[in-house]
Structure 1
Amino acid sequence: MHALLLVRGDVLVAVVERDDLAGVAGTARARSAGGLAGRVVGPDEDLETTRLTMAAQHRRRLAVVDHCGVLLGLLCLKKHGRGFCSSDDVAAREAERSANRAG
């Protein structure tokens, strides 16, 4: 798991990242482990500024939400930090993982 996006209806209520789970009781609610601060960006933010900030903070994912908190999408920074993942990139990685599981 890289990031779990928790929504109520279409509103993002929390983003849970792997590090958030360290030391959390197994009976805890997922929402209590995550948060939104530093994990969301608005749809009108400059992409290059956002990319540079993400790279500087070693953050690979940001949820995109509108002014009402409605989840619009997810920005995923490539490992090298010089660009964002595309749908084709994601599909290729999933195909590779599936092939590895089958082989």
Structure 2
Amino acid sequence: MNVRIGLGKPIARAQVGLEWTDLLPALDSVNFPMLWALDPYGDAVFNERQVPLLLAELDRLPEVYGGEWVNQARELCQVVQSGVHRFLWFVGD
């Protein structure tokens, strides 16, 4: 995970990544549309208007999905919200 201004180089990075498990694809796409969109092989990019939705999903994410990645995703969401033209990237393989 990282934050970029536009398509530029990252200005902030997570220290840990999201460990892909069989649980993530099982998320309900209606209740977790932002997290459901994550793909282990492709990038997912969230803009400043989508970040509040992502934060709300992280707040109600069942504990079994948790881990340090959730805390770091929240921190990176704050970086996105602290400026303009910033995007949160989940980078796939």
Q: Which one scores higher on RCO, CA 8 angstroms, separation ≥ 6?
A: 2
Q: From the CA coordinates, give the structure whose radius of gyration is larger.
A: 1
Looking at secondary structure, tell me which structure has more strand per residue: 1
**What TM-score comes out, normalization by structure 2 length?**
0.25
**What TM-score comes out, normalization by structure 1 length?**
0.24
